[in-house]
Amino acid sequence: EGEPALEHQRWSFDGFFGTIDQAAAQRGFQVYHDVCAACHSLSLVAYRNLSDIGISEDQIKTIAAQYNVTDGPNDNGDMFERPARPSDKFVPPFANANAARAANNGALPPDLSLIVKARKGGPDYVYGILTGFGEPPAGVTVADGMHYNAVFPGHQIAMPPPLSDGAVTYADGTEASVHQMAHDVTTFLEWASEPELDERKKMGVKVILFLIALTGFAYAVKRKVWAEVH
Ligand code: HEM
């Protein structure tokens, strides 16, 4: 039972000049919000961070207000519930790990903030998990409450297949195939794992252009300064 080979997918963020495809990341947020968020937290991201992927301030306020957070203590020393604000971190689906396990047959759905960085294969692994469900090969039995997955180490995963064709209705009209949703939510999770990626790559390009210009300038000055010397 070796490591299953991961199929490499094409990602907008591949390579030196790659960036997050904003339309894909927005669709991916929709998949996370409508499907994954029922079980998985995304604790390192705040609602206002969604402006990075082109979601408007008004939309962000509306999204945050769908959740309640515990705040306080107030002047009476009491904790209280209030609707989440854009500055709050994504509200988790469960109060704690015990509650999360109780709802998932004893298995803990991991926080997805860094999942793309934490697993070998990165985005290809996350995409592979989401598209890797199916019937076990002949002779392989799957334990009760587990599901066959070609990519998950050991091939038995406690997560039920989360995606099926049409599981979400995309705001931009894109057809919501399993492949499309898996690809989009992986792009969203890539952004979540490294929100400053686009900025960093753009800055890198600016630095290189600056260094090229500086080299040319230094060469021109050198030619001029030494022009009379033979
Ligand atoms: C595990 C992603 C939806 C419950 C995982 C893993 C990934 C993932 C990548 C494997 C983590 C690892 O390597 O350890 C997603 C995404 C979802 C989604 C992107 C939405 C499209 C759900 C839903 C549920 C769920 C809706 C609950 C009904 C779990 C559980 C595990 C898990 C319990 C742990 C599995 C185990 O350790 O055997 N998820 N998930 N997930 N997920 Fe999900």
Regarding the beta carbon of 182 and ligand 1, being less than 6 Å apart is answered no
Please report which confidence band the pLDDT of residue 35 belongs to, taking 50, 70 and 90 as the band edges. Answer: very high
- Predicted local confidence at residue 196, as pLDDT: 83
- Predicted local confidence at residue 2, as pLDDT: 54
CA distance 93 to 67: 10
CA distance 15 to 35: 29
Nearest atom in ligand 1 to the alpha carbon of residue 125 is 9
Please report which confidence band the pLDDT of residue 202 belongs to, taking 50, 70 and 90 as the band edges. Answer: confident
Ligand 1 centroid, distance to 101 Cα (angstroms): 12
Regarding the beta carbon of 37 and ligand 1, being less than 6 Å apart is answered no
Ligand 1 centroid, distance to 159 Cα (angstroms): 5
Stretch 186-198: mean pLDDT: 92
Is the pLDDT assigned to residue 230 strictly greater than 80?
Answer: no
CA distance 22 to 53: 5
Q: Which of 159, 178, 186 to mutate to test the pocket of ligand 1 (most atoms within 8 A of CB)?
A: 159
User: Which of 32-46, 188-202, 207-221 has the least mean pLDDT?
Assistant: 188-202
Regarding the beta carbon of 119 and ligand 1, being less than 6 Å apart is answered yes
Is the pLDDT assigned to residue 1 strictly greater than 70?
Answer: no
Regarding the beta carbon of 126 and ligand 1, being less than 6 Å apart is answered yes
Closest CA to 151 of 125, 177, 172, 180: 125
pLDDT digit string (tens) for 43-91? 999 999 999 999 999 999 999 999 999 999 999 999 999 999 999 999 9
- Predicted local confidence at residue 199, as pLDDT: 83
Please report which confidence band the pLDDT of residue 3 belongs to, taking 50, 70 and 90 as the band edges. Answer: low
Stretch 200-205: mean pLDDT: 87
Ligand 1 centroid, distance to 26 Cα (angstroms): 20
Please report which confidence band the pLDDT of residue 223 belongs to, taking 50, 70 and 90 as the band edges. Answer: very high
| 3-class secondary-structure state, position 155 | coil
Output the six-digit token pair for 148.
Answer: 């066959």
Stretch 192-221: mean pLDDT: 92
Nearest atom in ligand 1 to the alpha carbon of residue 31 is 21
Regarding the beta carbon of 104 and ligand 1, being less than 6 Å apart is answered yes
Closest CA to 116 of 48, 38, 40, 175: 40
Closest CA to 20 of 90, 115, 123, 113: 123
The overall average pLDDT reported for the chain is 94
Indicate the helix (H) or strand (E) that contains 83.
Answer: strand 80-83
pLDDT digit string (tens) for 118-164? 999 999 999 999 999 999 999 999 999 999 999 999 999 999 999 99
User: Which of 34-48, 59-73, 86-100, 200-214 has the least mean pLDDT?
Assistant: 200-214
Nearest CA to ligand 1 atom 27: 39
